[in-house]
Structure 1
Amino acid sequence: MRLTASSKWIGRKWRPRLATVVVAILIMVMALPLVGLFFFRLYENQLIRQTEAELIAQGAAIAAIYARDVRDAGIPPEKLGAPMPEPSGDSSRSVNPDPLYRPIEPQLDLASDYVLPTRPAAMPVIVDPAFAVIGARLSGILDATQKTTLAGFRLLDPRGVVIAGRGEVGQSLSAVEEVRTALAGHYASALRLRIPDQPTPPLYSVSRGTKVRVFVALPVAVDGQVAGVVYVSRTPNNIIKHLYGERGKVTLAAIAILGGTLLIGLIFLRTVSRPIYALIDRTERIAAGDRTAIRPLDHHGTREMAELSAAFLDMAEKLQARSDSVQTFATHVSHELKSPLTAIQGAAELLRDSGGAMDDAERRRFSNNIVTDAGRLNLLVRRLLDLARAENLAPSGESTSLGAALSLLPVD
């Protein structure tokens, strides 16, 4: 049959399975928010790193000025702090093995660093007069720099006492963890909560940048010893505010996500929805008697839909063929039944209308005709019952031989 051949051709053509399409769509839909969260996480971490890098640059400039003033003041070595450690050649913070250069790379990471509590309060102590003079001279520079960079500057002596900085001059910050590290000659940075008495957020959020403050402590080296610490802090940029500044790029990203979502919808529509609706329409047309609807769909989409369409159309063609066979059979049966019925009716009418004028021989002949035609009808009915019984045995799945089937037929 033409339909069967086309069905085999449909089966040979590669198409994705319906399960594959559904799984792919689900994975893509689930990946969209995950990609968005990953983007926000990376972007927020980048803002933290950017803030740390800016504080390192500002602190290095202040440290160079402070180291020059310490040398010019002629402060003796016994008033300086711990010796500076030798740079490690395999240190991840050093990008240049040349001992003349000691670059410091940002190291804060939202994924691995804990957010520390708010900075401990400074403790009042006695300031060394020599360092107090240097601090007073640099206070104007720190104030002018802070107005531009919006960073908080604290200049500490070798004991961790603030000698320059707003509001905490003459107080010690040596109890602060990052300050202790810097007094030992190592660079240190930390993320601390901005608002006092606020619990550490259990999850990283988009607005976390507004809840934390970046602290950077740079040791100041003079003649191989720690002469003090530049302690700088600033709140990183809010990610929402920053994204608003980059709204053009954000808009393009939103358009890309929307386009991806629409693409998913079009794929699902073409591979699943359209073939299903086309098959439903084809079913309604076949049920209404449209023989031209018994043909393959124009587009199947998936392998399962192609197989379903082929099986359905094959079934429709077989049902249509059976309907034609039943119609033809009914025509032949009605013709076979009409002949003996007509004979019986004619003989009965003659017997009824003859009255006593018909002799015994004629009456017997017409009676024999009635009996003969009734026998023909009885035989025809039995054969119809045998045919119906044979057709009903077909769906049982049993098998038989042609000889066994012929032996069951009545022999006239």
Structure 2
Amino acid sequence: MSSAPDKWRPSLTLVIFTVLATVGILPLVGLFFFRLYDNQLIRQTQAELIAQSRVLATIYAQEVTARLDSGLVLGAEVPPGVLPDPGDQVTPIRPALDLTANDLLRRRPDALPAPGQAQAAYVEIGARLTPIIRETQKVTLAGFRILDPQGVVIAGRQEVGQSLAHIEEVADALHGQYRATLRNRVPDKPPPPIYSFSRGLGVHVFSAMPVIVNNRVAGVIYTTRTPSNIFDHLYQERAKFVLAGLAVILGTIAIGLVFSRTITLPMRELIDRAARIGRGDREAFQPLKHYGTREFAQLSHSFLGMAEQLARRSDYIATFSAHLTHELKSPLTSIKGAAELLQDSVQGKAEGLTPAEQNTFIANILSDTQRLEAMAQRLRELARAESLPQNERTELAPVIADLRSRF
């Protein structure tokens, strides 16, 4: 019988340990996949800023339209192709910021002194919109700045009267094109240690929405907000997070104990029993202390039953060999003695045997030979009976006829 190739195979203990270690590490590995969630949070933040800016842009455009007759000067003309088709009923601006693909820009440049004073009408519009943006900021936590067509801040908590026209996204919006960017931010509090797993906590989303009136830029709604960050929440709930980690560890240990009791321990005991049976220890046929699972109990019963049957067969063969040796010894001794006497008589080493004595010895030899032949025939029949036939048919009619003739 060919044996299995001798190559390295992991032990059951190693497999179980690997599975348990994987289960324990999965929550930690999942933290890295939260980067994808960071990206989703950034786009969600951009979508919120787009919606808020669009509402303020509509109100701002209405204020500008109402003051056009008073000599209000608009900004640059929107280039062809920038504005959507007037026939389109729906013109959504879809969030497209991507933390993994977009270049993360440096923190926003500081405002510069304005080259001139903003028009009084724009200052008035800014004053009218200031209460609205402050009330909105209380709920949305976003930062709002309303710029005139020259990029001068006319409404907002800070930088009023200063220019933001030199900032990239604002410059694009002043030419009629919506632009959003990701910029590094300086946090107002030390970041939590878990910050290293995420970049979302260290960025600001900036959105510059142009206000278009009569195909010209009337101003810019400039908004900013820090995206929500799941790790900041985890850090705030770090006590619960630690408890959850302990629960995972305890659960992993519990699973390991179940595996050990149901698989590892019964298997090790069965391996030990096989080694003891191989050394001839008859006490090893006792049932196992723990079977673990139903399948393992069936395997143990089958293995121990087979080993016990093989042991009985070995005892039977040893007993049978002893009896056979005893049965063969008597006729062989008789044949050998008669043959030696006949040989001595023929060679003249002893007194010559009479013909009657010679016939008697020859008859004894033939009788013992027939006895040996009968024993050999019975051995063949015994061997045939011991080998169980597979998929064979036996007709009972000849056997019944023979029994009727004998009984």
**Normalization by structure 2: what TM-score?**
0.56
Displacement of 1:86 in angstroms is 4.6
Task: Give ranges in structure 2 of 5+ residues lacking alignment.
Answer: 1-10, 188-193, 330-407
Say whether residues 1:83 and 2:74 are aligned partners.
no
In structure 2, which of residues 230, 243, 268 is the aligned counterpart of residue 239 of structure 1? 230
Question: In 1, are the aligned partners of 2:46 and 2:207 still within 8 Å (CA)?
Answer: yes
Question: In 2, are the aligned partners of 1:294 and 1:316 still within 8 Å (CA)?
Answer: no
Question: In 1, are the aligned partners of 2:74 and 2:217 still within 8 Å (CA)?
Answer: no
Say whether residues 1:211 and 2:193 are aligned partners.
no
Closer/same/farther in 2, CA of residues 267 and 98 from structure 1, 3 Å limit: farther
In structure 1, which of residues 24, 34, 37 is the aligned counterpart of residue 31 of structure 2? 37
Question: In 2, are the aligned partners of 1:44 and 1:206 still within 8 Å (CA)?
Answer: no
Deviation string for 1:66-99 (max 9, x for gaps)? 111111221768632231645568xxxxxxx962
Displacement of 1:217 in angstroms is 1.1
Q: Which secondary structure does the structure 1 equivalent of 2:182 belong to?
A: strand
What is the rounded CA distance, in whole Å, between the counterparts of 1:124 and 1:246 in structure 2?
44
Question: In 2, are the aligned partners of 1:294 and 1:313 still within 8 Å (CA)?
Answer: no
Q: Which secondary structure does the structure 1 equivalent of 2:199 belong to?
A: helix
Question: In 2, are the aligned partners of 1:71 and 1:222 still within 8 Å (CA)?
Answer: yes
Higher-RCO chain (CA-CA 8 Å, sequence separation at least 6) = 1
Q: Any residues of structure 2 matched to 1:192-203 within 5 Å, and which?
A: 192-195=183-186
Closer/same/farther in 2, CA of residues 278 and 52 from structure 1, 3 Å limit: same
Displacement of 1:30 in angstroms is 8.7
Corresponding residue of 1:166: 157
What is the rounded CA distance, in whole Å, between the counterparts of 2:294 and 2:233 in structure 1?
44
Q: Which secondary structure does the structure 1 equivalent of 2:282 belong to?
A: coil
Say whether residues 1:70 and 2:64 are aligned partners.
yes
Q: Any residues of structure 2 matched to 1:45-194 within 5 Å, and which?
A: 45-74=39-68, 79-83=74-78, 85-87=81-83, 99-125=88-114, 126-130=116-120, 131-194=122-185
What is the rounded CA distance, in whole Å, between the counterparts of 2:126 and 2:78 in structure 1?
22
**Normalization by structure 1: what TM-score?**
0.55
Deviation string for 1:15-40 (max 9, x for gaps)? xx989x87994896499348723662
Deviation string for 1:352-404 (max 9, x for gaps)? xxxxxxxxxxxxxxxxxxxxxxxxxxxxxxxxxxxxxxxxxxxxxxxxxxxxx
Q: Which secondary structure does the structure 2 equivalent of 1:140 belong to?
A: helix
What is the rounded CA distance, in whole Å, between the counterparts of 1:204 and 1:117 in structure 2?
19
Displacement of 1:132 in angstroms is 3.0
Closer/same/farther in 2, CA of residues 124 and 309 from structure 1, 3 Å limit: farther
Q: Which secondary structure does the structure 2 equivalent of 1:49 belong to?
A: helix
Closer/same/farther in 2, CA of residues 172 and 312 from structure 1, 3 Å limit: farther
Displacement of 1:100 in angstroms is 3.6
What is the rounded CA distance, in whole Å, between the counterparts of 2:35 and 2:249 in structure 1?
21
What is the rounded CA distance, in whole Å, between the counterparts of 2:257 and 2:43 in structure 1?
41
What is the rounded CA distance, in whole Å, between the counterparts of 1:243 and 1:291 in structure 2?
56
Closer/same/farther in 2, CA of residues 51 and 218 from structure 1, 3 Å limit: same
What is the rounded CA distance, in whole Å, between the counterparts of 2:87 and 2:33 in structure 1?
36
What is the rounded CA distance, in whole Å, between the counterparts of 1:31 and 1:302 in structure 2?
30
What is the rounded CA distance, in whole Å, between the counterparts of 1:273 and 1:51 in structure 2?
52
Displacement of 1:302 in angstroms is 9.2
What is the rounded CA distance, in whole Å, between the counterparts of 1:238 and 1:55 in structure 2?
17
What is the rounded CA distance, in whole Å, between the counterparts of 2:132 and 2:287 in structure 1?
90
Displacement of 1:319 in angstroms is 6.0
Q: Which secondary structure does the structure 1 equivalent of 2:47 belong to?
A: helix
Displacement of 1:153 in angstroms is 0.9
Q: Which secondary structure does the structure 1 equivalent of 2:51 belong to?
A: helix
What is the rounded CA distance, in whole Å, between the counterparts of 1:107 and 1:310 in structure 2?
65
What is the rounded CA distance, in whole Å, between the counterparts of 1:129 and 1:226 in structure 2?
15
Deviation string for 1:299-334 (max 9, x for gaps)? 88999x999997897677656644665577689999
Displacement of 1:230 in angstroms is 0.5
Q: Give the aligned residue type for 2:211.
A: V
Task: Give ranges in structure 1 of 5+ residues lacking alignment.
Answer: 1-16, 90-96, 197-202, 338-412
Question: In 1, are the aligned partners of 2:144 and 2:222 still within 8 Å (CA)?
Answer: yes
Closer/same/farther in 2, CA of residues 33 and 122 from structure 1, 3 Å limit: same
Question: In 2, are the aligned partners of 1:155 and 1:165 still within 8 Å (CA)?
Answer: yes
Corresponding residue of 1:290: 283
Displacement of 1:192 in angstroms is 1.3
Deviation string for 1:276-295 (max 9, x for gaps)? 13414644774642374499
Displacement of 1:124 in angstroms is 0.9
Report the aligned-residue RMSD.
5.2
What is the rounded CA distance, in whole Å, between the counterparts of 1:153 and 1:321 in structure 2?
94
Q: Give the aligned residue type for 2:65.
A: R
What is the rounded CA distance, in whole Å, between the counterparts of 2:258 and 2:175 in structure 1?
62
Deviation string for 1:160-184 (max 9, x for gaps)? 2222223312222222222122223
Question: In 1, are the aligned partners of 2:24 and 2:252 still within 8 Å (CA)?
Answer: no
What is the rounded CA distance, in whole Å, between the counterparts of 1:98 and 1:266 in structure 2?
69
Q: Give the aligned residue type for 1:290.
A: E
Displacement of 1:229 in angstroms is 0.9
Question: In 1, are the aligned partners of 2:183 and 2:203 still within 8 Å (CA)?
Answer: yes
Q: Give the aligned residue type for 1:47.
A: L
Q: Which secondary structure does the structure 2 equivalent of 1:79 belong to?
A: coil
